[in-house]
Amino acid sequence: MVWYKLLISFILTVFLTLNSAYSSKPVKKNFNQFILEFSENKLSKKFDKTLIKSFVKNTKFIKRVIELDRSQPEFKLTLAEYLNKVVTKNRIKKAKRKYKENYKTLKDIEKHFNVQPRFIVALWGIETDFGRVTGFFPVVSSLATLVYDGRRGSYFEKELMHALNIIKGGHIKMENMKGSWAGAMGQCQFMPSSFIKYAKDWNKDGKIDIWQTKMDVFASASNYLKKVKWNNKRTWGRKVYFKNIQTIKNKKEWHSLKNWKNIGILNLDKTELPDSTLKARLIIPKNYTNYGYLVYSNFESLLKWNRSNYFAIAVGTLSDHLIFDENKIIKK
């Protein structure tokens, strides 16, 4: 029976060895090794040696980026709470001042892109508090960290390549390219891919600077909205009133304002909507029982910028505080 026990022992040893070999996960290469291989395989034929050397030397793993990516908090604020947080009295006051300070530049840019300046100022204010909070993470390192992590590797690899092309184009130095942990950059918080598609050098100095040059920021934001079918003959929407949400049918469909009027929707002050053919759809935020928003096609353009209804409503709400008598601004 000794031979039998030896045979069983041998079979178990082979089984456990093979099972361990096939079931164990491959050891992930360290970040520095990943950067070296990425440089050789992805960058060597597209970028010069100086940029690649800088990439290898300066790109660092940022643990905090992974923590933020993995632990994005669930959005629990109501719309009213969110608006109270981002469309404050101080921000409205600041938005009016910024609009007036940059009035001539904004109007010149409007002539070219056909986007009303009040929406550009509102976007600027909601995104970065008019350029005050633009992010402090080194964009290349943040994106490389996210590529290495692999959770959304292909997406962030494309953004990383765009970021390196921006540096290659001489628009900014690698060490000065700062932004959010996810790679959104500058005063308008463009991802590198949006920079490539939409950013503009308005002052014609050979560099597109969305970090420091306001006219480039305004022109880039305006070009973005223009390219996503902004209509400068329209606004974004309006807050409306209705008696009973249960009586409102086809809430997600597009209807003319005249049809919404017939359905039972009123202006916020409970006056009748105009007999207009302008198309709108109804948004009823959570916890709203008698109020909602009729939004127009420009609202859809704002959603291309940021897919959050809250964000788009905040931009629209702030923009409504920036409707001025332009003659008064010109005289000043």
Task: Specify the pLDDT at position 126.
Answer: 98
- Smallest CA-to-CA distance from 34 within 14, 19, 49, 56 is with 56
Q: How far is the C-alpha of 15 from the C-alpha of 96, rounded, in Å?
A: 74
Task: Specify the pLDDT at position 244.
Answer: 74
Provide the mean pLDDT of the chain.
90
> H-type helices in 24-134, by residue range?
31-38, 49-58, 63-70, 79-86, 89-101, 103-113, 117-128
Task: Specify the pLDDT at position 10.
Answer: 47
| Model confidence pLDDT, tens digit, residues 251-309 | 678 999 999 999 889 999 999 999 999 999 999 998 888 899 999 999 999 999 999 99
What pTM does this model have?
0.88
Mean pLDDT of 127-141: 97
- Smallest CA-to-CA distance from 39 within 150, 160, 138 is with 160
278 SS3 class: coil
What spatial distance separates the first Cα and last Cα of the chain, rounded to whole Å? 106
Boundaries of every domain in the chain: 63-71+133-226, 237-295
Task: Specify the pLDDT at position 288.
Answer: 86
Fold of 63-71+133-226: Helicase, Ruva Protein; domain 3 (1.10.8)
Q: How far is the C-alpha of 38 from the C-alpha of 41, rounded, in Å?
A: 5
